[in-house]
């Protein structure tokens, strides 16, 4: 799995952080998404897919 972000579109809703906190974080200055792990281990894959599906601004792209 490889994750890419289009952070310019991020509206800082923070749902990805709630769902996959080991993969996503928010930067301190404005809450915009930060990728902690672009190629997360298999145990995180379901959570990452869920975060991508829920992201309100369609920021998270997942390639498998």
Nearest Cα residue to 60 out of 1, 21, 26, 10: 10
In the list 41, 53, 60, 64, the residue contacting other proteins (rule: CB under 8 A) is: 53
DSSP 23-50: TEEE-TTT--EEES-SS--GGGHHHHHH
64 binds other proteins (CB under 8 A): no
What does the block give as tokens for 48? 């990452």
In the list 2, 18, 39, 61, the residue contacting other proteins (rule: CB under 8 A) is: 18
31 binds other proteins (CB under 8 A): yes
46 binds other proteins (CB under 8 A): no
Residues near other proteins, by CB under 8 A: 9, 11-15, 17-19, 26, 28-32, 50, 53-54, 56-58
């Amino acid at each position: 799995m490889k994750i890419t972000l289009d952070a310019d579109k991020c509206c800082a809703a923070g749902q990805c952080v709630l769902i996959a906190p080991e993969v996503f974080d928010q930067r301190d200055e404005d809450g915009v998404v930060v990728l902690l792990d672009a190629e997360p281990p298999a145990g995180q894959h379901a959570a990452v897919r869920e975060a991508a599906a829920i992201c309100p601004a369609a920021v998270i792209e997942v390639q498998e």
